Structure formats: structure tokens, C-alpha cells
Amino acid sequence: MTTASIRSLRTPVRSVPIDDPGELLHLLPDAAPLAWLRHGDGLIGWGEAARFEAGLGADRFGRAEAWWAEMCRTLDVVDGVGLPGSGAVAFGSFTFDAASPGSVLVVPQTVLGRRGGRSWLTTVGAGASALSPAVPPPSPERVRYADGSLSAIAWQDSVRAAVAAIRAGRLEKVVLSRDLVATSDTDLDPRFLLQRLATRFPACWTFACAGLVGSTPELLVRREGARVQSGVLAGSVRRGRDAAEDAELGAWLLASAKDAQEHAISVRSVSEVLAPHCTQLDVPARPRLLQLANVQHLATDITGLLTDGATVLGLVGDLHPTAAVCGTPTEVAAGLITALEGMDRGRYTGPVGWTGADGDGEWGIALRCAELAGPSARLFAGCGIVADSDADAELAEAQVKLAAMRDALEGV
């Protein structure tokens, strides 16, 4: 069989340069949208050329990596762009808990991308070859809220139990999450939430994958050739009512011993995983302050050079779960989460992002997000608990974090 005939049996993937199409999210159709955007750049996708359900277990990342490698061998890729995100890509979202179903990779039929002033269109198989403005998404109608798995009071009791376990020496840190159920009179359109989130949180990665929609400030890992980067967030405080209060709260967070401890634990958990893969790993000694629309975080950017050729999905599997979303020691914290949260997180706090055929990609941690199902949305927020944590303060922090999705639902 000739090379030409072999290529003819493969699924064609074509990436071509296009003129700037404008706001990417305004071009998404309403059927199962996919998105990964920051500052207006990134990727959107629609249609489904292939899907892989990764199943249960810690090896779900390895199975997804192997499936994607095999999938790429069936593709005939002609990439006329040559940028991260052009060519063949898959969007993905994984569950937090290895025992939870729902981890998935989706290869869209059509991808629209923009990066550094250059735009492109990728089609897979019979993907759309022309773009047209989508019908604007409808806004939710009469949104009501109800407690999820635990009431606020019951969740505070869980925080106190976690603090007692930490002070007893069982572990250093645990992250406890709570959920909230929102219901609209009409089905929720993920594009409405995406547009609201991208407008309010342009510095975050706004994402959509298989019904999970959100805007995360936390980069789990980015791989571009030999370069690797991770952004660790841990330690939070609300924004102030004016510039003076904002600065005061930011200074308090930077000086907080409790938040410094929580942050250091999270940084250590990431750097210890990346170190065997990298040389020249750069871990700043002090965190910086990251200010978002509704909250301020302690942030540390870790960078390095890969020496072993690990793919982005391989790094994702090694890094998850970090101490920023689970705790430390990992197994003890995970067991305490199961005992105290009273819920299955699903894909909340799991990895979400995209991977390319070359092993590059960008993955965040699914924070400030909601799982959509018709007229209902399940919202999530979590807090890192250490020995000095206070149940009232942690509840207030969780409410601030929940406000990101509440405001998006309400069009604020």
C-alpha cells in the first residue's frame, strides 16, 4: 500500500490561518460547546469527532494518554499554522476522585483558535469549513438556590472536625468543599455563563467541557516543548470595597502565617512532583498576590525544563491531586474528604484543559465552576484547612468563591 493510500484511510485534520474572527465565544453554537480561553485568546470547539471515557482508577490518566496517542496515529494532519493548539487537539476533564465516573477526552469536529494575534480554523473529518455568528444565548430565568450535600452549619462542623484531626497530628492540611444547587425556570445555556465569566475574569482560564463550565485562576500545568509551568494558588481573602481596603486586605494576606503555611504546603506538593521530570526547576521563595474580581490569592509560578519528554497528560496524571485541592499527606486528606464532605465532587477540582498531538497542552484545576444539567447547575467552592483555620472565616471564604458562579448565573 502506498503512502498516499495509507493517508487516504486516515481522518483528515486541517488547520488553516484565518482573519481575526472577533470574540470567539460569540461564534460557539449551542450544542455541547468546548472552550479554553484567557484574555480572549485560546480555543473553542464544537461537534464531536471522537470521545474517550477514561473510566475509574488512578490509571485513568494513563489510559487517556494511550488512547490519545493511538487516536493521533489514525489522523492525517496538515497544520498550516504551527502554534500551540493548532493541528489535532482534544479537550478533557477528569474527576477529582479516582472512584468517580465522568473523566473524558473529546475531539471536536471544529476548533477555532487565536494566539498572539494569529487566528486559525481546524476541521476534523467533515467539520465545518465556514464560520457564522451563533444565535445569542438566552439568559437564565428566575434562578433559585438550595443547599447541596451539606447545609452551611453542617459544613462548618466538618471544618471543625478537620481542624481537630490536623491538631491531633493526623495530617497537615485538607481541602474541604461544599456545593450549592441552582435551578432556573429554563434550561441553562453554557454559552451565557462562558461569556459572563470571560468578561468578569479575563485573567482566568474560562472553560467548558462535557457540561462542566467555569473560570479557573489555577494553572495545573502547561507544556510547550521542553518548557513546563505550573501556577499554585492557596490562601485567599476577599477584595476590598475601595482601593485602601483592598490594599489592606492584600497586605494582611501576604503577612498571614496561616495562609503562608497553606500555600507552602501546596507549592511543595507541585515542585516535588515536577522535580524528577525537570532540570532548572525555578520555585520562587515568596508568593505574589493575585487579584481577581472578587478575591485575592497567594500565587507562585513554578517553571522548569523537561528532561524526560513527559507529555502534558502524563504530567497531569502525576500532579493530580495537588495539596491545593486535596491536602497532605494525600491519602489521609483524601480519606478525610470522603468522610467529611458528604458528596462526590465529580469533576470539580479535577484537571480540565486540552492536549495536542505533540504532547503539548494546557491544563487547569476546575475551580469556580458548575456542572450543568438542563435547568439545574451544581456550584462548588472549597477552602484549605490547616491547624489555625476558623470555621466562620472558612465559610465566608467559600461564599465569596461561590459568588463567581452565582453572579454569572444572575448576569451580574
Q: Are 92 and 352 in contact (CB under 8 A)?
A: yes
List the chain domain ranges.
3-135+145-409
Q: What mean pLDDT is predicted for residues 355-375?
A: 96
Q: Give the confidence band of 128 by pLDDT, cuts at 50, 70, 90.
A: low
**Is 291's pLDDT higher than 90?**
no
Between 373 and 295, the more confident residue is: 373
Phi-psi region of 85 (alpha: psi -120 to 50; beta: other; left: phi over 0): left
Question: pTM value?
Answer: 0.93
Alpha-carbon distance 33 to 84, whole Å?
20
Q: Which long-range contacts (CB under 8 A, 24 or more apart) does 213-216 make?
A: 213/369, 213/370, 213/372, 214/352, 214/366, 214/367, 214/368, 214/369, 214/370, 214/405, 215/368, 215/369, 215/404, 216/352, 216/364, 216/365, 216/366, 216/367, 216/368, 216/369
Active-site amino acid positions: 173, 218
Split at pLDDT 50, 70, 90, the class of 130 is low
Q: Is the pLDDT of residue 127 over 80?
A: no
Does the bond joining 329 to the residue before it have cis omega, within 30 degrees of 0? Answer: yes
If you classify domain 3-135+145-409 with CATH, what class do you get?
Answer: alpha beta
CB atoms within 10 A of CB 137: 20
The string of pLDDT tens digits covering residues 14-60 is 999 999 999 999 999 888 899 999 999 999 999 999 999 999 999 99
Helix, strand, coil % over all residues of the chain, rounded to 5: 30, 35, 35
pLDDT of residue 249 exceeding 80: yes
